[in-house]
Amino acid sequence: MSLINIRKKTVSVEHAPIEIVERKGRGHPDTLCDGAAEELSVALSRYYLAHFGAILHHNTDKALLVGGRAHAAFGSGEVIAPMYLLLSGRATVTADEQLIPVGAIALKQVTAWMGRTLPHLRLPGDLIVDYRINPSSPDLHALFSTTHVPRANDSSFAVATAPLSELERLVKSVEEDLNGAAMKRRYPQIGEDIKVMGLRTEEQIQLTISVAFIAAETPNLATYLAVKEAIAGEVHALAATITRRQVTVMVNTGDRIETGNVYLTVTGTSAEQGDDGEVGRGNRVNGLITPMRPMTLEATAGKNPVAHVGKLYQVYAQQIVNHIVTDISEVDAATCTLLAQIGAPITEPQAIAIDVESPLSEEQLTAPITRIVNNVLNNWEAIRDGFLHRRWPLF
Amino acid sequence: MSLINIRKKTVSVEHAPIEIVERKGRGHPDTLCDGAAEELSVALSRYYLAHFGAILHHNTDKALLVGGRAHAAFGSGEVIAPMYLLLSGRATVTADEQLIPVGAIALKQVTAWMGRTLPHLRLPGDLIVDYRINPSSPDLHALFSTTHVPRANDSSFAVATAPLSELERLVKSVEEDLNGAAMKRRYPQIGEDIKVMGLRTEEQIQLTISVAFIAAETPNLATYLAVKEAIAGEVHALAATITRRQVTVMVNTGDRIETGNVYLTVTGTSAEQGDDGEVGRGNRVNGLITPMRPMTLEATAGKNPVAHVGKLYQVYAQQIVNHIVTDISEVDAATCTLLAQIGAPITEPQAIAIDVESPLSEEQLTAPITRIVNNVLNNWEAIRDGFLHRRWPLF
Amino acid sequence: MSLINIRKKTVSVEHAPIEIVERKGRGHPDTLCDGAAEELSVALSRYYLAHFGAILHHNTDKALLVGGRAHAAFGSGEVIAPMYLLLSGRATVTADEQLIPVGAIALKQVTAWMGRTLPHLRLPGDLIVDYRINPSSPDLHALFSTTHVPRANDSSFAVATAPLSELERLVKSVEEDLNGAAMKRRYPQIGEDIKVMGLRTEEQIQLTISVAFIAAETPNLATYLAVKEAIAGEVHALAATITRRQVTVMVNTGDRIETGNVYLTVTGTSAEQGDDGEVGRGNRVNGLITPMRPMTLEATAGKNPVAHVGKLYQVYAQQIVNHIVTDISEVDAATCTLLAQIGAPITEPQAIAIDVESPLSEEQLTAPITRIVNNVLNNWEAIRDGFLHRRWPLF
Amino acid sequence: MSLINIRKKTVSVEHAPIEIVERKGRGHPDTLCDGAAEELSVALSRYYLAHFGAILHHNTDKALLVGGRAHAAFGSGEVIAPMYLLLSGRATVTADEQLIPVGAIALKQVTAWMGRTLPHLRLPGDLIVDYRINPSSPDLHALFSTTHVPRANDSSFAVATAPLSELERLVKSVEEDLNGAAMKRRYPQIGEDIKVMGLRTEEQIQLTISVAFIAAETPNLATYLAVKEAIAGEVHALAATITRRQVTVMVNTGDRIETGNVYLTVTGTSAEQGDDGEVGRGNRVNGLITPMRPMTLEATAGKNPVAHVGKLYQVYAQQIVNHIVTDISEVDAATCTLLAQIGAPITEPQAIAIDVESPLSEEQLTAPITRIVNNVLNNWEAIRDGFLHRRWPLF
């Protein structure tokens, strides 16, 4: 087992003078790419498991969503040029002398998922899903066929922190609330491409929210403005349950009312009109972009859940800090950093560093933290299987 | 009006010692491309007409269907790598300062049409529809906006003959029968990719028929062989209603029963396993490939129905000969050749040549044939509109 | 050996009242596709032969050239949106456990060939070459590994006639002359996309010639008009050496001088501005489109030269008629029709029909024609190898 | 002018117990995408400037490099399936009624740049460059045509720190050294895809270096091992000039010598064999990935240099901290955070936060820092123009 470095340190950003937090909602082009890549990995994993008794090698962690062209007007609109989603990566295409329908799985699962994620997307018509997936190299297959602990396939780095700061909770809640079923029922004008940028300067919070409106549900400017105001009201109400700080809410600040230039979409995503997306350019594992915190550039979506430490270690690190702040009552905050070494068993990171904010001494912390770390690492099989049920938030 | 050259000549091939006739059925990769290109033209034409009061310029008469990979076995099967259909051409993309959803129309209509044409195609999953359609040049728009007779956009050639020979009727009927609803109900094993090759040597007819079987409907080799035999029987029965010549029927001669190598498909088309298709490589306007007859290489499918003489003249020529043999009882057979001249009104072909097999003299034939030719040419508007209702057989 | 049906019949079209003949020059979009597909087949064949001692299975006989957009003006011009060439088909991708660089061969050879064929094409920049080539099925490999005579892989039909009619020779010579090195030196304005349409009405010949001009070599309208006139003069001079009939020559009849709308191109091909191309839509094996003659729709380009009778039989038939009219001095004209049967040795066509125009009796013709046919069929290995040296004209 | 928040704070990570730093070299798939996207932006900017007197709107900041397949062996190798680079984004395609050759520029510039970056890449053959770039919306054009200060087109965040820590300098130097001309001359075996991962645990530094070897330059395993050892030696020598800490160097730890599984490539990049790349997934503006530092997820490459604050502010922030640590001798380290507000002039960030490590008081620091910030912001035109000469490091 790797050595665990535990040290006491200020972890929370609650008292930093400036804090910046962003969340890209589920219809944002980057988030759509994350989702598509992960759906493909889940579908392949399930197919491999059902047909061959094991999750075979694949990595579908790159994708490009090329934005289309659309014409949106109050009360109506249509996609002019469809969006184009190119899935890429590698996958096992034959096993036991059987061909594996990687391409058909990719098209079917990802198209269906896109349709569910963007209810106003017209299929077929508004989106082309294409793929360029090459066969995995045979030596990678071997890595997977073992009954031993899989070996890390890359040198990569993971980091996680708990608990979320107040601003982080706020930003995350706002997007989830606006993209929630209840809100959509009340305001069918709200599309899925929602971006929340939170800035806290000392005790003042400013939320800049970008919300794609659904043109067909927004008959006129008056409705648009009324719903914009209603959104601001909803966000204020939500904020009051989370923070006592003063909160300013700005919705769709790019609008130019005088020229009629407002944020209308046909499908609910800005990708319909030229905004492109890529995997791994959006939220981290905690659902946020937190530039003031230690942060990895690794994308989790689409990586195989067996040996790709760029995916696994993000989830391990998050589970470790979650347990530390939950299970050890005297810990106020914790950060976990994991560094993988290519070729080593995934249960043996090259470095495990834990920063904790706690009145306890390092000596007192060592035993319970070590136990938590070991529990998470020893739980690798259950964590792996959890990916197949989308149990772990990834973006 | 152009000069009409009428001459008496042997037109029919009934007494030629050798006759070869082929028909590619509606699920053949080339026919699928024809259909897709024409569906796109119809959909665009209707959109233009509905929104701008006129059929605007377009030519979508090229397409490539790249075959996929599939695994078909008795009773089951799946597409491994989807087919890929690339639509191409030119279309008017803006009019009256409005953007025209050419791409979205292409995807929606063609995908839906493919699904209807191949009932066993799983969508999404088994097919990618993509397009690369460039804007028409503005000067072509001008050609279309006139109220005058449109001008021919190309130098091209058309030819048609009536009536069909016995072998031609037989070959056509066999495919239509095997691809008909009644036959499919009785033999759900029969897929849509059917190719009939007819060879007549003097009084002997040999029909070589290739029929894609639907794997899911064919549980075992015994069923396969029984249906093959049943198909041969059905074809013999049909042939007996058309010809008194001796007919040999061979079905799926490429099968190697001993190695289990038979013609099974998942989707009903050979395109699922690598057979590619292109527009204009299959049947001519009479639904047949007739190498012993005068024949054009022009593709009709996907060309605009306003000014593209490569499309129009095929239909004009066919209507002219149909009328000649129907309306003039003393004519046994007729061929009509039309040559277009780029830039001239479509109603004024550069050359009109009519060959007729008839006891009448050329003098006696001139008046009625001239009347028929003029009627068809003067009917250009109704013929144009007929394309939008798929009234004219094209392939 | 198959039975040869020989019969005496009028073969030549010299005295038909109307004759229509077309040739698409080497820069025409369809001819470019033919050339690209064939270059790919030649390159693959050579690679297979060099590395594995045999030409392995492949068929790359479908391709789509999607036209681009260009801006051409007197003295200058540039491609705005590149052309896009999609190669497709099937090829053997592994042999003796080695991977075969099908994709890299396709890109390298076809791009280089396009550059040589269109000297004004700027590479990279004006053209994207892409490919979607699936692996051949393993059972097709087996067909190729035999030392026996290969078996026909399809039911298909070939036909050839000799000699060319006067109009046919004229049309072919005009294109070859205008696209020849000497003419290009004298008139660097002449691009490669040349289309010649010949119409003979009784003793009058009309040549409608379309010539893409090179914008950079054509500084102004005066030059354009002067070269157009010069071309007409050259064609008249050439025609005088071939025919005594009266010849009218029309060059670029689509021009509208008053609006400055003339046929200028940047690259020498109309594909730069939206004209698409496909394999098999242009010239037949004799280099011509001859709708008044028996004609096949089979494309030769890109098919494998080992077993694909759609390619082989066109060349066999052409060689047979060439020999008949050359070797048997009393034969004035001959047509050869070959019908292949899937599964039979390629040297055993299902039907061989020879029509001859000759004062000799069928009895007198039988022996020499049979000898010629057998010689050609027995020469199958040399003919196969000739494809690798581009020895047989194909389009 | 925006308010500048200055506060004193520990900025350097020199004394943190753990430090992790990574650099992806210039042949890494992600870096290749960054480079391609930026080259396209530079080429478009120059074209717009030369033809229209201003840099028109574009954003080409997304691209996907789909890895190919290759066969590399000691002394030889070849690309089997080419890599595929899809450029995407939006660009101004017409101005002053002229069409702009966006597609041709993209192909030409990016292909040439790829060839220069990867000298062993065979072109054409080993790479397909394709693009899907939609027209910018006209309202964005308006934003650019103003003579005023451009307005921020997005809400985004930038951060920069100076000076680099010792480990950061070391990691960066190692890659630059190994990818430098001198090293390549001595060791032509060294390819361009080099990744350096540095881990400092207290006073111990571990460098994990991944170096793609060029197969054609590496005749056998002995050479491979010798050069690997030589690389380690070179890195040790370089490290000795930068740090006194103990440095462990590991090169290509994924090698399995016993199975002959070593890191050979044909082209010098792992993208040849399935590793995909995307824009913005690699190095930040300082050339490094520094998870322990505040870090943005914004990609700079490909964004327009006029108004895209996601690009501009990264460079502004870097210039500000560079000046602070250089010009104010008593400052040991500084971090600058800039937050843009969509719609505001780019010279007026929503937030400017400067953290400094200095013996000076905040009062003493205010004046010189404010001057530096203002100088950089007022210098926006020169900075914009610098992008066209690739003056600012971006990744």
User: Alpha-carbon Rg of chain C, whole angstroms?
Assistant: 22
| D107 and A CB contact within 8 Å | no
Nearest to B18 among C22, C63, C337 (CB): C337
Question: How many Cα atoms within 13 Å fall on the side-chain side of residue D339?
Answer: 23
Interface of B with C in 42-101 (CB under 8 A): 61-64, 66-69, 81, 84, 86, 88-90
Q: Choosing among B47, B108, B266, which should be mutated to test the A contact, i.e. which has the most A CBs within 10 A?
A: B108
Q: Rounded to an integer, what distance in angstroms lies between the CA atom of residue A276 and that of residue B226?
A: 55
Backbone angles phi, psi at D127, to 5 degrees: -150, 135
From chain A, the residues in CB contact with D132 under 8 A are 66, 84
Q: Select from B121, B92, B88 the least CA-distant residue to B279.
A: B88
Q: Where are the domains of chain C?
A: 4-15+154-164+282-388, 29-141, 168-278
Strand, helix or coil for residue D126: coil
From chain C, the residues in CB contact with D104 under 8 A are 78-82, 122, 125-126
Mean predicted confidence (pLDDT) in C248-264: 92
pLDDT digits (tens, 9 = 90+) for C359-395: 999 999 999 999 999 999 999 999 999 999 999 999 9
Q: Do C276 and B201 touch (CB under 8 A)?
A: no
pLDDT band at A343, cuts 50/70/90?
A: confident
- The average confidence (pLDDT) of chain B is 94
Q: What is the number of residues in chain B?
A: 395
pLDDT digits (tens, 9 = 90+) for C269-322: 999 998 999 999 999 999 999 998 999 999 999 999 999 999 999 999 999 999
Examine the pLDDT at C2 and tell me if it is beyond 80: no
Examine the pLDDT at B139 and tell me if it is beyond 60: no
Backbone angles phi, psi at B182, to 5 degrees: -65, -45
| B359 and C CB contact within 8 Å | no
Minimal-distance CA residue of chain B relative to A78: B101
**Touching subunits for chain A (3+ Cβ pairs under 8 A):** B, D
Mean predicted confidence (pLDDT) in C240-251: 98
Cis ω for the linkage preceding C163 (within 30 of 0): yes
pLDDT digits (tens, 9 = 90+) for B142-192: 556 556 899 888 878 899 999 999 999 999 999 999 999 999 999 999 999
D29-141: CATH number: 3.30.300.10
Q: Rounded to an integer, what distance in angstroms lies between the CA atom of residue A36 and that of residue A44?
A: 12
pLDDT digits (tens, 9 = 90+) for A277-304: 999 999 999 999 999 899 999 999 999 9
Q: Do C80 and D98 touch (CB under 8 A)?
A: no
Query: What percent of chain A has pLDDT above 90?
Result: 87
pLDDT digits (tens, 9 = 90+) for B11-48: 999 988 889 999 999 999 999 999 999 999 999 999 99
pLDDT (0 to 100) of residue A310 = 95
Q: Structure pTM? A: 0.96
Across the beta sheet with A351-357, what order do the strands follow?
Answer: A4-8, A351-357, A333-339, A157-162
Strand, helix or coil for residue C47: helix
Domain C4-15+154-164+282-388 identical in fold to domain C168-278: yes
Examine the pLDDT at A152 and tell me if it is beyond 80: yes
User: Could you tell me which residues come within 8 angstroms of residue C133 by beta carbon, excluding any fewer than 6 positions away?
Assistant: C60, C87, C88, C89, C90, C91, C102, C103, C106
pLDDT (0 to 100) of residue D342 = 80
| B213 and C CB contact within 8 Å | no
Residue ranges of alpha helices (H) inside A53-193 are 102-117, 138-145, 166-178, 181-186
Question: How many Cα atoms within 13 Å fall on the side-chain side of residue C46?
Answer: 13
Q: Do B157 and C297 touch (CB under 8 A)?
A: no
Examine the pLDDT at B114 and tell me if it is beyond 60: yes
pLDDT band at A342, cuts 50/70/90?
A: confident
Minimal-distance CA residue of chain B relative to C80: B134
Examine the pLDDT at D374 and tell me if it is beyond 90: yes
User: Could you tell me which residues come within 8 angstroms of residue D90 by beta carbon, excluding any fewer than 6 positions away?
Assistant: A67, A274, D57, D58, D59, D60, D133, D134, D135, D136, D137
Across the beta sheet with C157-162, what order do the strands follow?
Answer: C4-8, C351-357, C333-339, C157-162
Look at the alpha carbons of B41, B45, B47, B52 in this order and tell me if their dihedral is positive or negative.
Answer: positive
Cis ω for the linkage preceding D124 (within 30 of 0): yes
Minimal-distance CA residue of chain B relative to C251: B342
Q: Rounded to an integer, what distance in angstroms lies between the CA atom of residue A94 and that of residue A51?
A: 11
Q: Of 3.30.300.280, 1.10.1060.10, 3.30.499.10, 3.30.9.10, which CATH number belongs to C4-15+154-164+282-388?
A: 3.30.300.280
Q: Do A104 and B71 touch (CB under 8 A)?
A: no
Q: Select from C78, C48, C62, C54 the least CA-distant residue to C310.
A: C62
pLDDT digits (tens, 9 = 90+) for D20-41: 999 999 999 999 999 999 999 9
Interface of C with D in 141-160 (CB under 8 A): none
From chain D, the residues in CB contact with C128 under 8 A are 107, 128-130
Backbone angles phi, psi at C356, to 5 degrees: -130, 145
Strand, helix or coil for residue B146: coil
| C261 and B CB contact within 8 Å | yes
CB count within 10 Å of CB A259 equals 9
Q: Rounded to an integer, what distance in angstroms lies between the CA atom of residue B137 and that of residue C273?
A: 9
Q: Choosing among B94, B99, B131, which should be mutated to test the A contact, i.e. which has the most A CBs within 10 A?
A: B99
Examine the pLDDT at C145 and tell me if it is beyond 60: no
Residue ranges of alpha helices (H) inside D179-327 are 181-186, 221-242, 309-327
Among the ranges given (A361-365, B166-170, D10-14, D36-40), the one the predictor scored with the smallest mean pLDDT: D10-14
B168-278: CATH number: 3.30.300.340
pLDDT digits (tens, 9 = 90+) for D256-313: 999 889 999 999 999 999 899 999 999 999 999 999 899 999 999 999 999 999 999 9
Tell me the ipTM for this assembly.
Answer: 0.95
pLDDT digits (tens, 9 = 90+) for A257-270: 998 899 999 999 99
Q: Select from C224, C238, C209 the least CA-distant residue to C25.
A: C209
Minimal-distance CA residue of chain D relative to C82: D104
Query: What percent of chain D has pLDDT above 90?
Result: 87
Minimal-distance CA residue of chain A relative to D272: A134
Examine the pLDDT at D206 and tell me if it is beyond 60: yes
pLDDT (0 to 100) of residue C146 = 56
Interface of C with B in 302-341 (CB under 8 A): 337, 339, 341
Interface of C with D in 277-296 (CB under 8 A): none
Examine the pLDDT at B214 and tell me if it is beyond 70: yes
Find out whether B6 and B321 touch, Cβ atoms under 8 Å: no
In the block, which residue shows the tokens 């020895």? C391
pLDDT band at D375, cuts 50/70/90?
A: very high
Q: Could you write out the DSSP letters of every residue in A199-264?
A: EEETTEEEEEEEEEEEGGG--SHHHHHHHHHHHHHHHHHHHHHH--SEEEEEE-TT-BGGGTB--E
Minimal-distance CA residue of chain B relative to C277: B62
